[in-house]
Structure 1
Amino acid sequence: MIVAIDGPSGSGKSSVSRAVATALGVGFLDTGAMYRALTWWCLDSGIDLDDRDAVAQAATRMPLEQGYDPDAPTVAVAGRDITAEIRTTEVSTRVSAVATNVLVRPVLQQRQREAMAAIAAETGGVVAEGRDITTVVAPDADVRILLTASEEARLRRRSAELHGTTDDAAVEATRDQIVRRDREDSTVSQFTVAADGVVTVDTSDLDFDGSVAAVLAVVRRATTPAR
């Protein structure tokens, strides 16, 4: 079973996708972590993120390893665990330079397809989440979902995640990371409007458990044979 989930920042797609993978008993792939890992590796290696050719070359040789356990997904480069490091503010504020590199995207998209196939072969399925999984990476997935939420809800969630609070100051401190990144990434990927055959799940008014239940309901409808 291949489940592809796209969505903007703060929509809950990472945490919901992990919970869905756990419920289904399959593996999990965070495709956005690939772009973050490449960003981290370029910064650590002294590669200029504005040098598109150099970053694309780095993408082809990046020694990346991703753990697919939805309860404890990991990311390592050259044997070094960078699971926490790719979530730092430095990487978060600079990853768009890599994610919008049109030379990089085909390279990482192919790595994503290969990873999804390997995970599905080993665990019986995969839930993969990102920006263009439903349209470019896995347009033939068994289930394709666009997980979305209002900007207000997304800002509130990410603020709570990053700052531990949803007061006005924390929300404003989060706004640039959410709004700017979505705006920049939307120049190379469509993740705000569902493509044909993609089911939209709006989590604006849903809590976490409700969001997971809504996605699982879509999966059941799509994978239950008609009687």
Structure 2
Amino acid sequence: MTDIAIIAIDGPAGSGKSSVSKQAARALGFGYLDTGAAYRALAWHVLAQGADTADDAAVRAAASAFPYAISLDPDDYWVRVGETDVTAAIREPRVSSAVSAVARIPEVRAQVNELFRTLAAASTRPGVIIEGRDITTVVAPDAPVRILLTADPEVRAARRSAELTDQDAAAVAAALHKRDASDATVVDFLNAAPGVEVVDSTDLDFAQTVDAVLGVVHEKLETAHGR
């Protein structure tokens, strides 16, 4: 989709795709695009207008006037809607519980996916790691490197609970499984499409997972460049 090297990484919640992708981007000198932030920001945008995220018409209306901006710098990450910095706000439980309702609407996904392609193409870095749930199959199906980062459900739930120390572990696990089930009705992010490399981090720590991802990236880019 661009001359910039695109690394597409998919995975379910709690698989580590955001933190691993960000660290891999640092190591490579690439940009980092968190696509989930866009859906979270849109959910925040809908809620900020006093609308219901379960109302498809309201979500479409909000999406049609969505002044979204995000940093692709892994060392200076921020998310804005208009002039409002929503980097922290989009991680609030009320937003997290509303994301799936926003992300399930096909027209919204199509619009946001095009936004992702535009953001990546505008990067001034030699490459961009784009992570999310349908990056390898929809956003960048022709990317030279496509990875599905996964882990056992129990491990993913434990990791997410450790990140959200102010929330009950059982509630975090239930929310994670509920979101996976809901989002799986829209896009398959649990099974690798043909040509997509699987990195299972169930038995890997963070550094090992980053190394595994970088190993795939280097191998695939060398192959793509005929080395």
Contact kept? 2:9, 2:148, Cα under 8 Å = yes
1:175-224 deviation line (CA, Å, top 9, x unaligned): 12110000000111110000001000000000000000000000011011
TM-score of the superposition, structure 1-length normalised? 0.94
Could you say which residue in structure 2 is the equivalent of 1:201?
199
2:36 partner letter: G
CA displacement at 1:171 relative to structure 2? 3.0
> % of aligned pairs identical?
52
Alignment partners' CA distance in 1, 2:135 and 2:85: 25
SS of residue paired to 2:97: helix
Q: Tell me which stretches of 4 or more aligned residues in structure 1 moved more than 2 Å.
A: none
1:102-128 deviation line (CA, Å, top 9, x unaligned): 221111111111111112xx1111001
5 Å matches for 1:1-227?
1-119=5-123, 122-163=124-165, 170-225=168-223, 226=226
TM-score of the superposition, structure 2-length normalised? 0.94
Give RMSD over aligned pairs. Answer: 1.3
**Greater Cα offset, 170-179 or 87-96:** 170-179
Alignment partners' CA distance in 1, 2:22 and 2:61: 31
**Greater Cα offset, 216-225 or 201-210:** 216-225
CA displacement at 1:170 relative to structure 2? 4.0
1:21-61 deviation line (CA, Å, top 9, x unaligned): 00000111000000000000100011221221221232132
Q: Structure 2: give runs of 5+ residues left out of the alignment.
A: none
Contact kept? 2:158, 2:173, Cα under 8 Å = no
Alignment partners' CA distance in 2, 1:219 and 1:51: 40
Aligned length: 221
Alignment partners' CA distance in 1, 2:66 and 2:26: 28
**Greater Cα offset, 30-39 or 56-65:** 56-65
Are residues 173 and 51 of structure 1, via their aligned partners in 2, closer, same or farther at CA, if it must alter by over 3 Å?
closer
Contact kept? 1:142, 1:223, Cα under 8 Å = yes
2:126 partner letter: G
SS of residue paired to 1:104: helix
Alignment partners' CA distance in 2, 1:160 and 1:126: 28
1:131 partner letter: R
